[in-house]
Structures are given as C-alpha cells and as structure tokens.
C-alpha cells in the first residue's frame, strides 16, 4: 500500500485552555467528494454538530476531495493506521483491502433504500467485525442513488439492451452489462462525450447524480433508472482515537450519528429526485424496465452472486440470509 504520510499535521491533539482546563481533541476526516456533493455536505453537518454538542471539546475538520492525499481506495487503511482519524468511504472501493466490502455492487441484491436498511440489519455484524479488525468503528452509513443507463435509443426490454455499447463504471457493472446482452466499454469518463458523438459508444451506466452533474443530457436522450444495485458510504472513526475520548463524548457523538443518519439518507433520496428533475428539464426521456428486462436483471444478478461466493466464501451465508428475508 502506498499513501502520503504528510497529512496537514493530522493527529489527535490534546490541549489545556484556561483555568477550567478542558481537553480539546482535534480530528481530521477525509472524504473523496467535493463541497457540493451530498455526502460531503452530510459530513460537514455532522462535524459541526459534534463541535457544538461537545462545546468544542471534539473538533472535526472535514477535508474534501484530495486535500489529505489519501486516495479514494485507501480510506480504510488510512483510518486503520491513524493517518486520519475519520473517513467517509465508499465501501466497494475498499474491496482491495477487504473483499467482502465489494458485495453491495452485486446486481439485484440491494434495490432501493428499504432494501438497504434490511441489508445493513443483516450484514451489519459482518461489517462491524471487518472494521473492528481494521482498528475502527462505523458511526453511520449513507447510500448512494442507484445506477441506470443513459442511451440514445430507449432501453425498456431485454432485447433493447442487446448490443448496446455502454460505458461501465467498474468491473462489476461491466460483467453485469455483458450478462444483460450489452457490449460494455471501458473508457475514461472524460472521453465519453467524444465517443458518443463519434458513434463508437452508445451511452453510459451511472447514477442520476453523476449524469446530471456531468450533463449527459447533452449527448444522450434516454435514461432508464434500472436500480440494479445500491452502494453505501460508511463514516468510520479510528478506535484508538475513539477510545481516547471520555464516556460522555463518545455517547454524545454516537447519539448524533444515530439521530442524524436518517437526515443523511433523506438527502440521498432528495439528490436522486432533484437530479432526475434536472435530466427531464433538459429534455431526457425517463423509461422503466418491462418484465423481460427485470427478469433478465434478476437472472444475471443470481449468476454473479454465485461467482462472488466462489471468491469471497464468507459472503454466501450473509447474502443468503438477507435474500431469504427480502424475498429474493
């Protein structure tokens, strides 16, 4: 693992001020997202609430995008080693360190926030064990909006997907699109507009948030929110830093995490709705999947579950317990 170790003076600092001599703990929190992203906004709101609720005894500084030098795939390791005390991490991007964390990308596993709630109830103990052995604990989770496909021709049926040259956003989405009958493409996102204009690519798979922010409506005409998966960010804290707090401080911070998490999930849902509206306002047609396409997604998903179990055996019992409860 490579990682920048010069991190803005990152440490847990203890200082005494005034006659009352109260302890001030300073933490640094790394997020990969920019200031306008709803995950970053949630992280900043949480840090502000902690500062207020502890009367400044715990002061969290949220570092956006690449400010700390911690790569997006290295958040788990950075918190583990104390390079930062906290991070907002997209779980599947940490799968290189802990393969189970890639499970949420499996198609047809988690579809929508209700299923994400159920998934976290079932898989929560497994996540907790992973984070504990990585010297950290989860304070809260926030899901991303689900991905769909942007194309110039409508994709409604299973046949419509056949042969569509669609840019995939990761290895799992590439395999899924391939099993759906599409012809997935690996392509840097910044080259997508040129490739569509040249006719070498038909569209892209991504969320409403990315699609609207990147103005995919300028060169594609249709969006189908296939909702084939849902992935969460987790906000974690280093256990050494956490255990150094007083009992009162820990109770206050955990209470805030528990109470604010619902607002953060609502912000994710609002982001999806708002960005869908942006797509429509800019002329995009929003389509839904018919029964043939839905059945094809379920079939492809179950095949990919089995493939995942072959490489990450510990996932099978968790997924099967969840699937039984969810009726999948």
Task: Tell me the CA distances in angstroms from 224 to 152, 154, 156, 289, one per residue in order.
Answer: 11, 8, 7, 7
Under the banding of pLDDT at 50, 70 and 90, the label for residue 23 is low
Q: Of the candidates 278, 303, 177, 291, which has an alpha carbon nearest to the alpha carbon of residue 223?
A: 278
Task: Tell me the CA distances in angstroms from 102 to 119, 131, 172, 279, 310, one per residue in order.
Answer: 14, 14, 9, 29, 13
pLDDT of residue 113: 97
User: CB of 243 within 8 A of CB of 132?
Assistant: no
User: Counting every residue, how long is the chain?
Assistant: 328
Q: Where are the domains of the chain?
A: 13-144+231-273, 147-228+280-326
pTM: 0.88
Domain 13-144+231-273 superfamily per CATH: Bacterial extracellular solute-binding protein, family 7 (3.40.190.170)
User: CB of 77 within 8 A of CB of 97?
Assistant: yes
Under the banding of pLDDT at 50, 70 and 90, the label for residue 4 is very low
**What pairing do the DSSP bridges indicate for beta strands 203-207 and 166-167?**
parallel
pLDDT of residue 66: 84
pLDDT of residue 182: 97
Given the structure tokens 């974690």, which residue do they identify? 236
Tokens linked to 73: 């795939």
Handedness of CA 276, 282, 288, 289 (dihedral sign): negative
Under the banding of pLDDT at 50, 70 and 90, the label for residue 12 is very low
242-275, pLDDT tens digit by residue?
999 999 999 999 999 999 999 999 999 999 999 9
d(CA 276, CA 271): 8
The pLDDT > 90 percentage for the chain reads 89
pLDDT of residue 19: 31
User: CB of 235 within 8 A of CB of 199?
Assistant: no
Do 13-144+231-273 and 147-228+280-326 agree at the fold level?
yes
Tokens linked to 140: 């809260």
Q: Of the candidates 327, 150, 324, which has an alpha carbon nearest to the alpha carbon of residue 226?
A: 150
101-127, pLDDT tens digit by residue?
999 999 999 999 999 999 999 999 999
The more confidently predicted of residues 119 and 17 is: 119
d(CA 68, CA 219): 35
Q: What is the average pLDDT score of the chain?
A: 92
The architecture in CATH of the region 147-228+280-326 reads 3-Layer(aba) Sandwich (3.40)
- Let me know the angle formed at the C-alpha of 61 by 55 and 67, rounded to the nearest 5 degrees: 175
């Amino acid at each position: 693992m490579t990682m920048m170790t010069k991190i803005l003076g990152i440490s847990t600092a203890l200082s005494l001020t005034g006659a009352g001599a109260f302890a001030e703990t300073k933490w640094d929190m790394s997020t990969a997202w920019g200031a306008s992203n709803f995950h970053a906004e949630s992280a900043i709101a949480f840090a502000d609430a902690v500062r207020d609720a502890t009367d400044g005894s715990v002061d969290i500084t949220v570092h956006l995008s690449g400010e700390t030098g911690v790569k997006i795939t290295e958040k788990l390791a950075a918190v583990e080693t104390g390079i930062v005390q906290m991070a907002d991490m997209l779980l599947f991007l940490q799968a290189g360190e802990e393969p189970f964390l890639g499970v949420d990308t499996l198609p047809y596993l988690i579809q929508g926030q209700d299923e994400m709630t159920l998934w976290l109830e079932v898989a929560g103990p497994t996540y907790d064990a992973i984070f504990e052995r990585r010297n950290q604990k989860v304070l809260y989770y926030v899901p991303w909006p689900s991905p769909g496909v942007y194309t110039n021709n409508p994709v409604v049926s299973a046949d419509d997907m056949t042969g569509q040259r669609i840019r995939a956003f990761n290895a799992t989405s590439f395999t899924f699109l391939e099993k759906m009958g599409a012809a997935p493409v690996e392509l840097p996102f910044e080259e997508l507009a040129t490739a569509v204009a040249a006719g070498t690519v038909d569209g892209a798979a991504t969320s409403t948030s990315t699609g609207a922010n990147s103005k995919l409506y300028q060169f594609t005409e249709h969006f189908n929110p296939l909702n084939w998966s849902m992935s969460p960010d987790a906000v974690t804290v280093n256990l050494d830093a956490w255990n150094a707090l007083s009992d009162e401080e820990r109770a206050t911070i955990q209470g805030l995490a528990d109470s604010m998490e619902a607002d953060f999930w609502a912000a994710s849902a609002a982001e999806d709705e708002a960005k869908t509206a942006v797509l429509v306002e800019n002329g995009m047609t929003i389509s839904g999947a018919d029964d043939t396409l839905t059945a094809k997604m379920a079939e492809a998903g179950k095949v990919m579950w089995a493939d995942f179990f072959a490489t990450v055996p510990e996932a099978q019992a968790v997924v099967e317990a969840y699937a039984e409860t969810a009726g999948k």
